[in-house]
Structure 1
Amino acid sequence: MGDIDMTDFTVPRRRLGVAGPDVPQLSLGSWHTYDRMDFHDAVDLVAHAVRWGVDLFDVAVYGMPGRPPAFTDVLFSAIVRAAGLARENYLLSTKVWLEGYPAMSLREQVERAMFRAGTDHADLAILGDIRDENLDLAQLAWDLAELEQSGLIGCWGVNNWSATAIRTIGGHASAAGSPGPQVAQLKYSPCRRSIADGAPFADLFAAGLSMQASDILEGGILAGKVAPTREIGRDPGGVRERIIASAPGIAEVAADLGATPAQVCVAFALSHPATATVLFGATRLAQLADNIGGLRLLEEVGAAALRARLVPFCADREAVSPEGP
């Protein structure tokens, strides 16, 4: 496929839901990204990303009880200043964790997160996993509506929610005067397809919900790092060993297409009609440029042909319910 020509290149944009902003088709996450980088390299990476149109940054705090505190979001606040970026030059996404809610209000949590990130608002807030079956979705919707109306967040979405939970909070949001969830952040790759490709979410997507595809490389495994040394995401369905076994086959498909495995995974995620943006981490400028090449691959090969080549690598078809968690 060859390297993409970055001269005067800008990553195309898609609408987030029906009431969200236009977002770049690629977005950068920060799960222990900037705290693993040389500061000067991080500034260069972020500056180039914005120049190429990749201006949506997920800067959620990933600190866990009993573990060392995370500072990648605090570093991001210094990175954007060093890169000379004004707040209007980029879009900011944050996580809202539900484990401490409602004892810690959503407002307090988001305000603290924005203080760490060096700004006064998030363009997008993503609600974390539901771990309490008694969570009051009606009150949650009203609290989110208040944050939208106050300007603290622009819009919101969910991460790893079931289709039923999304429909339920959508109804409560409408009653609260909120547009409701605009995006579902879902694990999506040639190996993890059951939820995003299933009928329950197809109905939600048809109604206007967008997808933010995440974990597209399974923590680097599908890019060839079959024994990652850093913490990676959860393994729904317990299919990671199958995914590791699929990595060589995906690499063969990539080689046959004159592309890299990362480009194949980016192109696959973008081939889903509901995908508004693909979220990934990058610690080197070359990684960012390589992933951008996935856009050219999708254009050259076509969505249908690419998806057909990758059918054999679906690992979660019988292991994960299409309904979601």
Structure 2
Amino acid sequence: MGSMDDYTLAADRYDDMTYRRVGTSGLKLPALSLGLWQNFGHDTTLDAQAAILRAAFDQGITHFDLANNYGPGPGAAEENFGRHFARDFQCHRDEMIISTKAGFEMNPSPYGTGGSRKYLVSSLDASLRRLGLDYVDIFYHHCPDPETPLEESLGALRDIVAAGKALYVGISNYDAELTAEAADFMEEEGCPLLIHQPRYNMLDRWVEEDGLLEVAADAGLGVICYSPLAQGRLTDRYLDGIPADSRIARAPGNGALEADWLSDAALTSLRALNDIAGERDQTLAQMALAWILRDRGEQTVTSVVNGASSVAQLESNLHALDNLDFSDAELEAIDSALVTNDEK
């Protein structure tokens, strides 16, 4: 890539990416979005971050997904993205979709978590300062808050759009019933929800069991899924056990990855999935991404939030888009290979 000061955008950056309309809105997102949950905190060099961001934009990834608490520490990913944006992307702001969220704990004060108007509005203001932006394209309530009236949280989202601090608003981690209630409220308020961001992958299919995909389609919401590779389990990284340099080995019990998620039964399942992917000329990760993005009619997923720790990983995952078609036999084989997974 050269030094951090000699970046020139690829002129053909839109030639190969697939863009999908978000629900019934006028907005389109790339089939793969770049998530900054991992690898953009203070534990990763700015050079490594810049390389990933530049490669993503050069490949047509226009959507960059953040949250107030992404790090480490909280706020670090937004701060670092703001640095990269100011240097490399500021003159291309109109070609970018930048999203952030608030809901999970940002600080230990009474106003640093949840869904109150106080927290959502003040958090977004702080996010905009860290990002160096006047507005974000999408602002999410990151998780439902049973201690705050739903109308208060959604009213804050409505007023954030009215204030010009976000162009669109969405929700994340809401179940189907609450999503339907939220969509109805926002429709009546004249500020329709744009999108829902749930966790979804081959090993965690709660959105199917809950009926969320159907509810989102009926309400005109797009769906963008996070954790599509189940925190690395749906890759070839753990097929032969736990590598010494993996996050499980370095920080067991950290809540992101647990060693018991890779039991003998789970590994047998993953190896069977890997064999199916090989028959499709895909890696396990590529097949896992393609499986989410496959044609489901009205319930087709809009985009997948894809994390990357290197340019090579990003470019490999992008090849998932080369084959999004699955035969009935392949889908049946995948279902047969999966083991019951109670992780939520």
For normalisation by structure 2, the TM-score amounts to 0.79
Give 1:154-193 correspondences, 5 Å limit.
Answer: 154-179=167-192, 181-193=193-205
Give 1:261-272 correspondences, 5 Å limit.
Answer: 261-271=284-294, 272=296
Give 1:75-114 correspondences, 5 Å limit.
Answer: 75-86=80-91, 87-97=93-103, 99-102=113-116, 104-114=118-128
1:72 and 2:50 matched: no
Secondary structure class of the residue paired with 2:190? coil
Secondary structure class of the residue paired with 1:259? coil
1:217 and 2:241 matched: no
CA RMSD in angstroms, aligned pairs only: 2.9
Equivalent residue, structure 1, for 2:27: 21
**CA distance in structure 2 between the aligned counterparts of 1:198 and 1:240, rounded to whole angstroms:** 25
In structure 2, the CA distance between the partners of 1:251 and 1:192, relative to structure 1 (3 Å rule), is: same
State the shift of 1:16 in Å: 1.4
In structure 2, the CA distance between the partners of 1:201 and 1:267, relative to structure 1 (3 Å rule), is: closer
Q: Does structure 1 retain, via aligned residues, the 8 Å contact 2:30–2:60?
A: yes
Q: Does structure 1 retain, via aligned residues, the 8 Å contact 2:14–2:60?
A: no
**CA distance in structure 2 between the aligned counterparts of 1:79 and 1:183, rounded to whole angstroms:** 26
In structure 2, the CA distance between the partners of 1:134 and 1:81, relative to structure 1 (3 Å rule), is: closer
Stretch moving more, 208-217 or 36-45:
36-45
Secondary structure class of the residue paired with 1:147? helix
Letter in 2 for 1:289: E
In structure 2, the CA distance between the partners of 1:9 and 1:316, relative to structure 1 (3 Å rule), is: farther
Secondary structure class of the residue paired with 2:223? strand
Correspondence for 2:154 among 115, 122, 141: 141
In structure 2, the CA distance between the partners of 1:194 and 1:306, relative to structure 1 (3 Å rule), is: farther
Secondary structure class of the residue paired with 1:104? helix
In structure 2, the CA distance between the partners of 1:70 and 1:224, relative to structure 1 (3 Å rule), is: farther
Q: Does structure 2 retain, via aligned residues, the 8 Å contact 1:20–1:182?
A: no
In structure 2, the CA distance between the partners of 1:38 and 1:252, relative to structure 1 (3 Å rule), is: same
In structure 2, the CA distance between the partners of 1:214 and 1:103, relative to structure 1 (3 Å rule), is: closer
State the shift of 1:182 in Å: 2.2
Equivalent residue, structure 1, for 2:36: 30
Equivalent residue, structure 1, for 2:140: 126
Secondary structure class of the residue paired with 2:206? coil
Letter in 2 for 1:310: I
Correspondence for 1:49 among 32, 50, 56: 56
**CA distance in structure 2 between the aligned counterparts of 1:193 and 1:256, rounded to whole angstroms:** 23
Equivalent residue, structure 1, for 2:109: none
Give 1:226-241 correspondences, 5 Å limit.
Answer: 226=238, 227=242, 228-229=246-247, 233=256, 241=263
State the shift of 1:129 in Å: 1.9
Letter in 2 for 1:91: I
For normalisation by structure 1, the TM-score amounts to 0.83
Structure 1: which 5+ runs fail to align?
A: 1-5
Where relative contact order (Cα < 8 A, 6+ residues apart) is larger, the structure is 1
State the shift of 1:308 in Å: 3.1
Letter in 2 for 1:47: R
1:62 and 2:69 matched: yes
Q: Does structure 1 retain, via aligned residues, the 8 Å contact 2:29–2:63?
A: yes
**CA distance in structure 1 between the aligned counterparts of 2:210 and 2:77, rounded to whole angstroms:** 34
In structure 2, the CA distance between the partners of 1:206 and 1:103, relative to structure 1 (3 Å rule), is: closer
**CA distance in structure 2 between the aligned counterparts of 1:169 and 1:7, rounded to whole angstroms:** 36
**CA distance in structure 2 between the aligned counterparts of 1:200 and 1:85, rounded to whole angstroms:** 36
Secondary structure class of the residue paired with 1:154? strand
In structure 2, the CA distance between the partners of 1:217 and 1:307, relative to structure 1 (3 Å rule), is: same
Stretch moving more, 144-153 or 196-205:
196-205
Matched length: 307
Secondary structure class of the residue paired with 2:16? coil
Give 1:271-286 correspondences, 5 Å limit.
Answer: 271=294, 272=296, 273-286=299-312
**CA distance in structure 1 between the aligned counterparts of 2:277 and 2:122, rounded to whole angstroms:** 46
**CA distance in structure 1 between the aligned counterparts of 2:75 and 2:157, rounded to whole angstroms:** 25
Q: Does structure 2 retain, via aligned residues, the 8 Å contact 1:97–1:129?
A: yes
State the shift of 1:304 in Å: 4.5
**CA distance in structure 1 between the aligned counterparts of 2:266 and 2:196, rounded to whole angstroms:** 23
